[in-house]
Structure 1
Amino acid sequence: MTTPKTGEMLHLRGNALDKGEPVALPLTQSSMYHLPGAPDGHPNYGRVDNPTWQHLEHVLAHLEGAPCLTFPSGMGAISAALFATVKSGSRILIPSDGYYVTRLLADRFLSNLGVHVTERPTTAFGDGGFDGFDVVFVESPSNPGLDMIDLSAVAACVRAAGGITIADNTTLTPMGQRPLDLGIDVVVASDTKAMGGHSDLLMGHVASRNAQIMERVKEWRRVSGAIPGPHEAWLLHRGLETLDVRFDRMCSSAQVLAQRLAGHEAVKQIRYPGLPNDPSHALAKAQTQRFGFLLSITLESEAKAEEFINACPMLRPATSFGGVHSSAERRARWGDDVDPAFIRLSVGCEPVEELWQAIEASLNAL
């Protein structure tokens, strides 16, 4: 698998500049373009073209190693990928323990349009095979359980059965896992998380080496109007410039914290793919470049889980993940099928010893 050349990424714009042009990416905040005569392929309207998007997509394509299109949220990207690949009568397979909003989209909207939806748990995703499925949507590691799927094996089986695969790679980003290199047809991600990294934007993207699929995704964006705002695109571009540094810090810190949390008496159960005894460890070691910045712990009770989160000064009690600040939440409050005391912990960029001292003190006080 190839690794993104992040140094080269930082100079994609700079090496194409003419003398006197700004080094920082300009923000183009316009819905109209000067367009006398026939359009002739020129930018024509803000729902179709924006120079800030275009450069952002150039950078994302460099990271993914494939053409890329941006959307106003992760679910915007997931919706585009699905609506571009299914039709009435299509059969799709999705994880029953993945991000719950993807399941809601399939159940409440796609199924009403004549799409047949099947759900399987991540740990038994291949049971029953993939014959007859037009689209197989995978999420590895699963959110929030952190179970993994053998992406290469699934991609090969689905392709042999005549279907296409879509992988949600939000939790690991292109820095930690490269689904397209493993044979997956389409990657989607919420750039709201680690890609942006500062909890100040909503964005998502779709990437694929299949030109026909990307043309359909582009048409969906143009016709549906599911376009990113130029300011959000500008913010994401700025966030990507520090992704390599942030991701490295977050993953390294998560490994340290997971090892220490595994030995704390207040922790009943811990999941982190980087722990040798984790059920996902062997597959993660073979399939990913990093083990990620997400881990989960289960405490004794819902009350103690809430107390731990709310009392720790270095954990923001907030939904979402991937920010420079560490955050935590009980996922059962959103209806995920987990223990009431299950906590998803997103490790940020704080100095790891300072972060551990705060977490340990909060656990010790329970």
Structure 2
Amino acid sequence: MLDGYGDSTRAVKAVSSQAIPGQPVGPAPVPAAAFHLSADEGSEPDTYGRSSNPSWRQLESALAQLEGATIALSFGSGMAAISAALRAVVRPGSALVVPSDGYYQVRRFAAECLAPLGITVREATAAQIYDAAEGADAVLAETPTNPGLDVVDLHRLAGICRRNGARLLVDNTTATPLGHQPLSLGADLVVASATKALSGHSDLLAGYVAGSHPELMSALERERLLAGAILGPFEAWLVLRSIGSVGLRFARQCQNAMALATALRSHPAVRSVRYPGLPEDPSYPVATAQMRKFGGLVGVELADADAVHHLAQGSELLVASTSFGGLHTSVDRRARWGDAVAAGFARISAGIEDTDDLVADVLAALDRG
């Protein structure tokens, strides 16, 4: 149990190997596809790398501890995790709610792969999701939303879903389990991309699903086995290795995001700023009630697309790239991907640079405009 510890202690404890004299302190990768079989068939912990392997178990144990779950399952990407979770909770005739203001590929998956199977797909913003959940069989919420950073009241939404017998899935990619634990707020499943802050180095793809309902997790494990959307053992080890430092990295990212949001809200080139940790942000009341940290993302609206490109080009520290949660602070113009935002809306993912250096650099780049 990790209750009562701070974030870095929780992270380090989650990845600690068993204290056996003579054995490595840090867990080692097990890059194996096939394992020795026993005459006592079915007694082996591992038989074939697509069904299980020691590297997965080490990572999944750490993820379950951080999310406050009984079980976690790793996947080859965040989309693999989300799509598997959705397939596990809906059937032809089901009604599914997905975020209209969340990750755009989820909407595409629901429209292109689930709707043709006879599943009714409803899209709803963070503000609309409570009404949309009425009569649904499954609800996927993303909080804070990506890229708008609206925060969904999970306690309220979970109550609606329980009353109607609907499954609630929460995408915890933006907040991370250090920001909040949706399972403790009533969610049935947590889905997330470990590509982002948990791995934190912009060099691998991974995802996971966490929960405490045995039947749901068994269905997901079967889905992973048959669909083959698995995480490689070496990548699993890399995520596990990274989790040990996520407390330090995420704390700096949150600190940098807050500093950037505070500095940018008064800059003449900035039309608006979204960050759940700002007292004037519309999501602040809900965020302060359910989140422990506000995350490393800041939404900034500039004049137009050129202004975003000039910001990236005029900075010494900003990296123009998509995805988020890495060591480097990055900027991404979200309208290019089809998000329903203004042409000059930029998502800034705060890295771990020194706070004063980062703020000074971004303000100077805006001044050069």
State TM-score, norm by structure 2.
Answer: 0.96
Is 1:146 the equivalent of 2:146?
no
- Shift in Å at residue 113 of structure 1? 1.2
Is 1:92 the equivalent of 2:100?
no
Aligned with 1:323 (options 321, 326, 330)? 326
Q: Which residue of 1 aligns with 2:21?
A: 19
- Shift in Å at residue 65 of structure 1? 1.1
Q: Which residue of 2 aligns with 1:283?
A: 286
Q: Distance in 2 between matches of 1:207 and 1:97?
A: 23
Q: Percent identity?
A: 42
1:172 maps to a residue whose letter is A
1:177 maps to a residue whose letter is H
Please give the residue correspondences for 1:97-246 in structure 2 after superposition, counting only pairs within 5 Å.
97-127=101-131, 130-246=133-249
Contact kept? 2:16, 2:27, Cα under 8 Å = no
Contact kept? 1:168, 1:187, Cα under 8 Å = yes
* Cα distance change on mapping 1:71 and 1:46 into 2, 3 Å: same
* Cα distance change on mapping 1:329 and 1:58 into 2, 3 Å: same
1:80 maps to a residue whose letter is A
Contact kept? 1:325, 1:349, Cα under 8 Å = yes
1:220-249 deviation digits (Å, cap 9, x = unpaired): 111111110011101100110000011111
Instruction: Name the SS of the counterpart of 2:127 in structure 1.
Output: helix
Is 1:251 the equivalent of 2:278?
no
2:126 maps to a residue whose letter is T
- Shift in Å at residue 45 of structure 1? 0.6
Unaligned runs of 5+ in 1: none
Is 1:41 the equivalent of 2:43?
yes
1:75 maps to a residue whose letter is M
Q: Distance in 2 between matches of 1:85 and 1:191?
A: 22
Q: Distance in 1 between matches of 2:173 and 2:247?
A: 15
2:114 maps to a residue whose letter is L
Contact kept? 1:4, 1:63, Cα under 8 Å = no
Instruction: Name the Cα RMSD after superposition.
Output: 1.5
Contact kept? 1:4, 1:174, Cα under 8 Å = no
Contact kept? 1:3, 1:175, Cα under 8 Å = no
* Cα distance change on mapping 1:275 and 1:8 into 2, 3 Å: closer
Instruction: Name the SS of the counterpart of 1:118 in structure 2.
Output: strand
1:105-146 deviation digits (Å, cap 9, x = unpaired): 100000111111011111222235x33211011011110011
1:159-185 deviation digits (Å, cap 9, x = unpaired): 110111000010010000111110111
Q: Distance in 1 between matches of 2:139 and 2:230?
A: 25
Bigger mean CA offset, 338-347 vs 26-35: 26-35
Contact kept? 1:4, 1:175, Cα under 8 Å = no
1:322-343 deviation digits (Å, cap 9, x = unpaired): 0011000100000111100000
1:304-325 deviation digits (Å, cap 9, x = unpaired): 1111122212111000000011
Q: Distance in 2 between matches of 1:205 and 1:3?
A: 24
Q: Distance in 1 between matches of 2:214 and 2:204?
A: 28
Q: Distance in 2 between matches of 1:108 and 1:30?
A: 35
- Shift in Å at residue 9 of structure 1? 4.5
Q: Distance in 1 between matches of 2:231 and 2:239?
A: 11
Aligned with 1:32 (options 20, 31, 34)? 34
Please give the residue correspondences for 1:250-269 in structure 2 after superposition, counting only pairs within 5 Å.
250-269=253-272
1:342 maps to a residue whose letter is F
Bigger mean CA offset, 334-343 vs 113-122: 113-122
* Cα distance change on mapping 1:224 and 1:68 into 2, 3 Å: same
2:204 maps to a residue whose letter is L
Q: Which residue of 2 aligns with 1:82?
A: 86
* Cα distance change on mapping 1:296 and 1:13 into 2, 3 Å: closer
Q: Which residue of 2 aligns with 1:364?
A: 367
1:73 maps to a residue whose letter is S
- Shift in Å at residue 3 of structure 1? 6.4
Instruction: Name the SS of the counterpart of 1:122 in structure 2.
Output: coil
Q: Distance in 2 between matches of 1:84 and 1:3?
A: 33
Unaligned runs of 5+ in 2: none
Bigger mean CA offset, 335-344 vs 249-258: 249-258
Instruction: Name the SS of the counterpart of 2:42 in structure 1.
Output: coil
